[in-house]
Structure 1
Amino acid sequence: MGLAAGAAAVDLGAARMQMALSLGWHIVIACLGVGMPAITLLAEWRGHRTGDNNYRLLARRWARALGVLFAVGAVSGTILSFEMGILWPGMMGVYGEVIGLPFSLEGIAFFVEAIFLGIYLYAWDRLRPVPHLLSGIPIVLAGVASAFFVVTANAWMQQPTGYRVEGGRIVAVDPWAAMFNRATPPQTVHMILAAFMVAGFLMAGVYAVAMLRGRRDRYHRLGLLLPLTVAAAVTPVQIGVGDWAAHFVAEYQPVKLAAMEGVFRTGRGVPLHLGGIAVDGELKYALEIPYGLSLLAHWNPDAEITGLEQVPPADWPPVNIVHWGFQVMVMLGFALLLLAACLALSWKRRRDLPESPWFLRGVALSGVAAVLALESGWVVTEVGRQPWIVFRVMRTSEAVNPAPGLVYGFVLVTAVYAVLTVATVYVMRRLARDVPVPLAPQEPDVTGYKVV
């Protein structure tokens, strides 16, 4: 009996790690798929409006990278879709009809994106400028829609609704009510803005590295400035949306908030904690800001904050993981906000980028910082919900596939993602090394450039 329980625990851990790996890997590619098309279209539009071929060349090269990332994302997304049924049949078997709608709509959005991406890439030299630019708009809309639909399914897992249980059976299913649950607005907006931040900062970081190596021509400056401007404009908005999401957690998931802040005992006027480690039911070594958490969570410095002692320890999420995931996300978010403020201040004063090489170093690191903030935020969202796969309805241990040997699937999927990572990095580096060559005057081309 003990051996069987031990094997089940190992398989549950393997299933969790496999899902974490798949989601953590795919979400970065998905963010590029959401934010990069809009930035690419913006570059193409600027090229047509100003006649500056540097914009057009940037758009063309980014579109080629977008095609590669779309193909890779299709692979990782397909893996995820199979994992939902293979790893978690307990949830999908019971609630599949409740949350099936957003997955179906996401499939439609995916096909729309694939069709128009093919047109956009194939028609660079075959369509006039305006029709070609317009052909990219459905790519942007479909990418945002895909992110929205997928996140609504996750939001339902945070706030399940849209059904009733009678006699142990799911009845009165309302897929639209399930999709537009209470968690949907803050989660979807937070995720879509994060996608634009990740795409913008990652793209800008590539050109910041090139500029640090001495490539200070207009092409590289525009390659840094355009995506960085988009990401910098989104960052302060994201900070505000993050506050909205935190208020939602405080109201509807107080145990998750307690784990995020390491609050073990219910109280009023609870301080905000910076750093710290949870040890033996107490958060130690943290810097406290008096009344900070009560004020931020409820706009009242004397507001009551629910502590973890209100629920059995078996219902606690892993406190240190959730707490530090939240700390890292907030810290990096404000670091990126500072970088955005430096850009805005310099542009207001000089209509140019800051001259300091430290600014370029910061931009070079900003993409990695945005990805880490994104991953940390998802750790807070998903691990903070544990031990529930459907919040307060079904435990993760009840949903996992009971078949033995899930650990072997985790090893196999890890190998697949290792190969995907190496192949993606290799292809993207090859694209980055391509040298732009101006076309001869007699050669017709919408952009005025070809890439060899």
Structure 2
Amino acid sequence: MLAPDVVTALTHLVTEAEPAGLMPARQQMALSLGWHIVLACFGVAFPAMIFVMHLRGIRRDDPVALGLAKRWAKVSAVLFAIGAVSGTVLSFEMGVLWPGLMGTYGDVLGLPFAFEGLAFFLEAIFLGIYLYGWGRMPPKRHVLMVLPMAVTGIVGAYCVLAVNAWMNLPVGFDVVDGEVTNVQPWAVLFNQQAFLQFAHMWVGAYMLAGFSVAGVYAVGMLRGRRDAHHRLGFIVPFAFASIAAVTQPFVGHVLGFGLDERQPAKLAAFELAETTESPSPLRLGGILVDGEVKGSIDIPYLGSLIAMNSPDKPVPGLDTIPEEDHPPVNMTHLAFQTMVGIGTLLAAAVVVFWFQRRRGRDLLERRWFLRFAAAAGPLAVIALEAGWIATEVGRQPWIVYGVMRTPEAVGDYTASLWWLLGISTVVYTAMTVGAVVVLRSMARRWRAGDADLPSPYAPEVQA
């Protein structure tokens, strides 16, 4: 037990170190981003899957493929609608939660945010055209309406990722006498980390969307629905996810090049390197307790080989970095290893599936594989969320690395932020429940044979 005076002193230090509004602001941002990012993945990846399915239907005169494309487009519309709500909330939160950031660097970040908004509206327009175009446009022209949806989804995601890459490696401005000057918006939009960080997220989006959609049909097959509709509905998104899963480790590895120079504290937290060792081991699991690593499985040399591309080059340890610049080490390390572990598992699973399929063994007839495929979607979600936790928490205590600390960016209206967090939690819970209810209702009607779902506001058809 700590003496009362020690507790008082520690509380005083924490209060002085961090503004009272920092905790609710962080929780609010984590909730909003963690919820919205799942929907954003569908906005990025789903149009390409719809395009492939629709094109197959036209070229092969395949009514099953056309039916799937039409249904997926309607699901995409539901996800887009609730994603629009969470995206709008996020746009306001940047200014409300982090006035220090936007007030100081708003001119620097304005261009990518403007392009992201434009891309969002264009995606909505072409989604509407595509939905309305069924039976009203020539088939070859109609399928092309999916392409602008795919392109605008990619552009919007890239703009957001460019901002995040800038927060990790700020460029495109000078600070003169405390004022931000010489702003170069294009340098922000095309900073050297933006392309790789976007590629990592883009591939991750295909993993999440592909495994999630395939998992829906895997559940259907587990329940005995093994028709052409379910098999095709599984194979196409699973193929997208498979390519993404085997590509992702290479993209992530390339993204990590030079992290020891850009953000050495983050790399040390990833590798749980409390001290600098040569060569550095790969630590599986484990946590840091009182400056000592406990519970890890150490594999010699692999840490240096994977993190530094060298058999003996050391990973910079936390002992080389001022303590005030350390991120939350355990959270960063465990989130990073969760991402890598799940990603490796999914990559291995798809290799086994396609290898067995090439040998004439159809794993879709195996219930154990269908169970795994059903779980692959949630696993991909966990991996994506863990990756973002590792990236964002690992950058702390900086909101703009090396330039602005997170406490400097937060507002000071503490009570209001806690209320906002409570209201947002209720809203996001309601939207989640609503989306599930709507999608399940659509699925039940489709299984009952309703090709075109009725609209509650549509005019009655006169006989």
Q: TM-score range by the shorter chain?
A: over 0.9
What SS does the aligned partner of 1:323 have?
helix
- Give 1:10 shift: 4.1
- Indicate the larger mover: 427-436 or 13-22: 427-436
Partner Cα distance (1:424, 1:450) in 2 = 19
Say yes or no: does 1:118 pair with 2:128: yes
1:428 equivalenced with 2:428 (yes/no): no
TM-score (norm 2): 0.92
| 8 Å contact from structure 1 (residues 262, 282) kept in 2 | no
| 1:240 equivalent among 238, 245, 250 | 250
Runs of at least 5 residues in structure 2 that lack an aligned partner in the other structure: 1-10, 455-463
The aligned counterpart of 2:302 is 292
TM-score by length of 1: 0.94
Residue 265 of structure 1: how far off its partner (Å): 1.1
CA deviation after TM superposition for structure 1 residue 300, in Å: 1.0
| Residues 290-439 of structure 1: pairs in structure 2 closer than 5 A | 290-350=300-360, 352-405=362-415, 406-435=417-446
Q: Which aligned pairs between 1:243-282 and structure 2 lie closer than 5 A?
A: 243-282=253-292
TM-superposed CA distance for 1:159, in Å, is 0.2
Counterpart-to-counterpart distance in 2, 1:51 and 1:349: 29
Q: State the partner residue of 1:163.
A: 173
Which residue number corresponds to residue 117 of structure 2? 107
**1:294-322 superposed Cα distances (whole Å, 9 cap, x missing partner):** 11122211112211122222211111100
State whether residues 8 and 404 of structure 1, in contact with CA within 8 Å, keep that contact through their aligned partners in structure 2: no
CA distance in 2, matches of 1:77, 1:394: 25
Q: Secondary structure at the match of 2:433?
A: helix
Q: Report the residue type matching 1:422 in the other structure.
A: V
Q: Does 1:29 align with 2:39?
A: yes
Would you say the 8 A contact 1:164–1:172 is kept in 2? yes
Q: Distance in 2 between matches of 1:176 and 1:258?
A: 32
State how far apart, in whole Å, the 2-side matches of 1:33 and 1:420 are. Answer: 17
CA contact (8 A) 2:126 2:149 kept: yes
> Separation in 1 of the partners of 2:256 and 2:295?
23
CA distance in 2, matches of 1:28, 1:250: 30
In the comparison of the two structures, how many residue pairs are matched? 443
Q: CA RMSD in A?
A: 1.8
2:5 is matched with none
* Offset at residue 352 of structure 1 (A): 4.3
C-alpha separation in 2, matches of 1:138 and 1:370: 26
Cα deviation digits, residues 382-419 of structure 1 (max 9, x gap): 00000100001111100001223121111111111111
Distance 2:220 2:293 in 1: 44
Asked if the contact 1:261–1:323 (Cα under 8 Å) also holds between the matched residues in 2, the reply is: yes
For residues 40-72 of structure 1, give each alpha carbon's deviation from its aligned partner in whole angstroms, at most 9, with x where no partner exists: 111111111111211111111110000011111
Q: Which amino acid aligns with 2:389?
A: V
SS of the aligned residue for 1:267 comes to coil
Q: Give the Cα–Cα distance (whole angstroms) in 2 for the partners of residues 314 and 3 of structure 1.
A: 13
The C-alpha deviation readout for 1:54-95, integer Å capped at 9, x for no partner, is 111111111000001111110000000000000000010111
Letter in 2 for 1:43: M
Shift of 1:5: 3.2
- For the residues of structure 1 that align with 2:238 and 2:383, how far apart are their CA atoms? 17
- Aligned AA (1:202): S
SS of the residue 1:305 aligns to: coil
Work out the CA distance in 1 between the residues paired with 2:15 and 2:157: 37
> How many angstroms does 1:7 deviate by?
11
What amino acid maps onto 2:422 in structure 1?
V
